[in-house]
Amino acid sequence: MSTLPDCLYCRKDQRLTDLMIEIAPLQVSTLYLFKEQTYRGRCVVAYNGHVNELYELSDAELALFMQDVTRAARAMKAAFNPAKINYGAYSDKLPHLHVHLVPKYTDGPSWGTTFTMMPEPKQLLDDAANRGLIAQIKQALG
């Protein structure tokens, strides 16, 4: 029997693959493309260990995690040129440290307000479009 917590980020099971596509490992986290793309380029940076709060990390781990978040945000800016990137770290229903990186565009949804976590109707892209977004992000990650 697995000692992993029943957490989609830790188990990397179908619950995760139903929501996200892995883009790349980072220093202490993993970068994912969120399949729901109302906000073009939306990603998630998930910490590799099972913690829920930033304060559970050592100072060194926290610095590395924030470097990962920053690196991902810079890549998103380079790839998609949003006017702003919103950061969301909620974990109310999914207790695992992760940050939503949500590109916002002045002519796009929710400009000037908080992004909608699970907008309806869902904007799901086909595999080719997802691969295209991932390629842009990977190129910008270097």
pLDDT in the model for residue 1: 45
> Has residue 55 got a pLDDT over 50?
yes
Nearest to 107 by CA among 33, 40, 44, 34: 40
Q: In angstroms, rounded to a whole number, what is the distance separating the alpha carbons of residues 111 and 105?
A: 6
Q: Residue 2's pLDDT is what? A: 54
Residue type, 14: Q
pLDDT above 70 covers what percent of the chain? 99
1: in domain: no
CA–centroid distance for 15 within its chain? 15
What pLDDT score does 93 carry? Answer: 85
Tally the domains of the chain. 1
Q: What is the CATH number of the domain that holds 115?
A: 3.30.428.10
The helix/strand count (H/E) of the chain reads as 4, 5
Cis peptide bond prior to 121, omega within 30° of 0 = yes
Domain residues for the domain of 76 are: 8-141
Domain presence at residue 2: no
